Chain A
Amino acid sequence: MNAEKQYIDLFAECRTMIDGHSVLALNARRDEAFHAFQEIGFPSKKVERYKYTDVSALFLPDYGLNINRLDIPVNPYDAFRCDVPNLSTSLYFVVNDRFYDKVLPKVSLPQGVVVTSFQKAAEVYPHLLEKYYGQLADAKTDAINALNTMLAQDGLFIYVPKGVVVERPLQIVNILRADVDLMVNRRVLIVLEESAQMKCLFCDHSIDDVNFMATQVCEVFVGENAHLELYELEETHVKTHRVANMYVRQSAYSTTTMDSITLHNGYTRNQTDVMLDGEGCETNMYGCVIADKQQHVENNTLIDHRVSHCISNECYKYVLDGSSIGAFAGRVLVREGAQKTVSQETNANLCATRSARMYTQPMLEIYADDVKCSHGSTVGQINDAALFYMRQRGIPEEEARLLLKFAFVSDVIASIPMDALRDRLHYLVEKRFRGELSKCEGCKLCK
């Protein structure tokens, strides 16, 4: 049986319906994506970038799709309380793939800043949508991009015009909600023009006891001298499968800080590609994964130093318990002419049980001769000497293990510039290690 067939058939059958419930900018790209998808199909584990995650197996089950855009009855404000409250954010919801616009936050955004659905963006800012949509996520060579481009019908559009500083962080809560097994193809487009500044936190949650298959393609344009902080926090359940591709293009003198935190999940593959397209850029990419049971988390990153005088820092840390599987593949590419590049890449992992497995592959490719680059990776167990020291002081073994695991990821959490989020994450990570995430209180799935 091949996993592609049902999507090819579905698309062929429902093309009109898909188009009818979507907008021109998205519809215009479907043909190309469809042809590519038919040709390349899902990547097997023989494809280098997909060797740690068997993507085609994820797509085999028969998921429902909400092609007719039926209104799924939910008031996210009632139904859901995110674990990261009181951050003084401008709070928005995306339910499945749809921007929830029935109730919007009362805070007004600075002049010209847009946070809306693709549907709305197509009415009001069609030129912006057309200019940026699909420019970074290559739907011709990557099957996930192709599938998402074929089937995406709506999405979230965030736009900050030239010189505007959005002081108050945006918080986007992605909720997966359904009564039957559901596939969601979410699309995000973020555009920061020259000298714009924004902080944005995405929180991913699943609130129903069904299987979810979520693809997400996120395209991010960071203009010249713009500053972006982008946080992603996944706190879903064991029946959630997430395959997310993010593409970031940075123009000269821009700064991007990204934190990807997987606190709880089912099966996750996050790919993040950053293109440093102008001189003087800085990229900070941090990640933290906490997994147990049978959970699977891959972070696959590319930092592409295309020009000279850019800085990149990358640090991912994993704590794996149970029979969980972690994978990290981080490629740093320093192209010819990208002189004076300064780049650091670290991946440190803690396998707390014998059955937890970690695959790690730090990669550094340098085609310039005047650069300062390092890359490294470690996989270790809990430090027995430290464990015994703590027990001798009377700290019970379980508690000591917890403190050591918490300590292991604490520097990644400490690197988060947003104070309130950092404090909150300290709390959440500790709760996670204790197995007390409030998310799971009403949810037997993850017990």
Chain B
Amino acid sequence: MLEIENLHASINGKEILKGVNLVIREGEVHALMGQNGAGKSTLSNVIVGHPAYEVTQGSIRFNGKDLLALKPEERAHEGIFLSFQQPVEIPGVSMVNFMRAALNAKRKYQGLEPLAAGEFLKMMREKRKIVELDNKLANRSVNEGFSGGEKKRNEIFQMAMLEPTLSILDETDSGLDVDALRIVAEGFNKLRTPQTSAMVITHYQRLLDYLKPDVIHVLLNGKIVKTGGPELAMEIEKKGFDWIKEEAGL
């Protein structure tokens, strides 16, 4: 589904990714771990097409398509979703209008008619339940005045609405209390299907206990230096990253 080959990317002239290779297949959940500043968020931002990052080498293919040639909105329409580490507040744009614009843009891309107002609102109601999001939140401006936990739940709610095939969760567990973490993780699991994949960025085992990833990658200094099964995450939780760094000769 997602094939990243020798990806180099920089921001403001500074190279952050230095040759990333990664393949995620249909139905798989991959976890991406690594120290602060290793390039995890950069990788997710490059995949979704953040304009601040420049790809200097390499390629990303998504379902066979050259992803780097597509605009951010087109990548979203192709089925890529990023749950932001820091969801953005947009005062004055209501959640309803925001979701309607997003959903109908995707439908248009797929050659479908816009959803009728009634159907859309019904869908909003149903999907909200997945992350136990309050009805009132839907009428408020996007993320404005939301607590940290509400913002993250709102990300998963949007994911539920847009039904992506590849979801990237960038530290979706940060700033969440145990209950909120459970709601978010269980919400995510409800949305999983054999056709959907995910890349999960996290520092903590707790989220992975819920999500049960198939593959763990360690990204250090702009490269994936180690890949393993779920046991790798537990080892990192116990021993930290130093031994991996030594192994990789960093």
A residues lining the B interface (CB < 8 Å) = 383-386, 388-397, 399-400, 403-404, 406-408, 410-411
Contact A399 B105 (CB under 8 A): yes
Closest to B106 in A: A394
Contacting A at CB under 8 A, from B72-104, are 72-73, 76-77, 81-82, 84, 87-93, 97-98, 101-103
Q: Are B51 and A404 in contact (CB under 8 A)?
A: no
Is there contact, CB below 8 Å, between B73 and A396? Answer: yes
Contact of A394 (CB < 8 Å), options: B50, B97, B105: B105
Whether the Cβ atoms of A389 and B101 lie closer than 8 Å is no
Taking residues whose C-beta sits less than 8 angstroms from the other chain, chain B's interface range is: 20 to 34
- Determine the distance from Cα of A410 to Cα of B92 in the docked complex, in whole angstroms: 6
Q: A-B pairs with the 6 shortest C-beta distances?
A: A407-B92, A394-B76, A393-B102, A389-B88, A391-B72, A410-B92
Contact between chains at A411 and B76 (CB < 8 Å): no
Q: Please give me the residue from chain B that is nearest to A411 by CB atom.
A: B92
B162 sits at the interface (CB 8 A): yes
Asked if A389 contacts B105 (CB within 8 A), the reply is: no
Assembly CA distance A392 to B87 (angstroms): 11
The answer to whether A395 and B101 touch (CB under 8 A), given A388-B72, A389-B84, is yes
Contact yes or no, A385 B101, CB < 8 A: no
**B residues in contact with A400, CB < 8 Å:** 101
Given A391-B72, A393-B98: A403 and B51 within 8 A (CB)?
Answer: no
B101–A399 touching, CB < 8 Å: yes
Do A395 and B73 touch across chains, with their CB atoms under 8 A apart?
Answer: yes
Q: Which residues of B contact A384 (CB under 8 A)?
A: 51
Q: Is the CB of A403 within 8 A of B71?
A: no
Do the beta carbons of A389 and B48 come within 8 Å of each other?
Answer: no
In the complex, B42 has a CB within 8 A of chain A: no
B72 touches A404 (CB 8 A): no
Min Cβ gap B81→A in Å is 8
Q: Does the CB pair A407–B82 fall under 8 Å?
A: no
CA distance A393 to B72 in the complex (A): 8
- Which chain A positions have C-beta within 8 A of B88? 383, 385-386, 388-389
Q: How far is the CB of A24 from chain B (nearest CB, A)?
A: 52
Contact B90 A395 (CB under 8 A): no
Q: Is residue B158 within 8 Å, beta carbon to beta carbon, of the partner chain?
A: yes
Alpha-carbon distance between A373 and B140 when the two chains are bound, in angstroms: 30
CB pair B93–A392 under 8 Å, yes or no, is no
Task: Among A388, A391, A392, A397, find the residue whose CB has the most chain B CB atoms closer than 10 A.
Answer: A392
11 contacts between A and B (CB under 8 A): A386-B88, A386-B89, A390-B90, A391-B73, A392-B81, A393-B98, A394-B103, A394-B109, A397-B71, A403-B98, A406-B92
A410 to B140, CA, bound (A): 13
Within 8 A of A (CB), among B45-77: 48-51, 71-73, 76-77
B101 touches A403 (CB 8 A): yes
Question: Can you name the residue of chain A whose Cβ is closest to the Cβ of B80?
Answer: A392
In the complex, are the beta carbons of B76 and A391 less than 8 A apart?
Answer: yes
Say whether A390 contacts B92, CB under 8 Å: no
B97 touches A403 (CB 8 A): yes
Report chain A residues within 8 Å CB of B81.
392-393
Contact B77–A394 (Cβ < 8 Å): yes
CA gap between A407 and B162 in the complex, in Å? 23
Chain B residue with minimal CB distance to A391?
B72
A392-B82, A396-B105 as given contacts; A404 in contact with B71, CB under 8 Å: no
Question: How near does chain A come to B3, taking the closest CB pair, in angstroms?
Answer: 21
Q: How many Å lie between the Cα of A200 and that of B26 in the bound state?
A: 63
Q: Are B93 and A404 in contact (CB under 8 A)?
A: yes
Within 8 A of A (CB), among B98-122: 98, 101-103, 105-106, 109
> Shortest distance in angstroms between B185's beta carbon and chain A's nearest beta carbon?
21
Distance A397 CA – B51 CA, assembled complex (angstroms): 12
Chain A: CB-nearest residue to B143: A389
* A397 contacts across to B, CB distance below 8 A: 71, 73
Q: Is the CB of A407 within 8 A of B90?
A: yes
For B90, list chain A residues within 8 Å (CB).
Answer: 383, 386, 389-390, 404, 407
* Cβ–Cβ < 8 Å partners of A407 in chain B: 90-93, 141
Q: Is the CB of B162 within 8 A of A394?
A: yes
- Whether B71 lies near A391 (C-beta < 8 A) is yes
CA distance A399 to B97 in the complex (A): 12
Q: Which residues of B contact A411 (CB under 8 A)?
A: 92
In whole angstroms, what is the CA distance A256 to B84 when docked?
A: 45
CB distance from A144 to the nearest CB of B (A): 35
Q: Point out the residues of chain A lying under 8 angstroms from B89, CB to CB.
A: 386
* Alpha-carbon separation in the docked complex, A392 to B105 (Å): 12
| Residues in B neighbouring A386, C-beta threshold 8 A | 88-90
The CA-CA distance from A70 to B22 in the complex, in Å, is 80
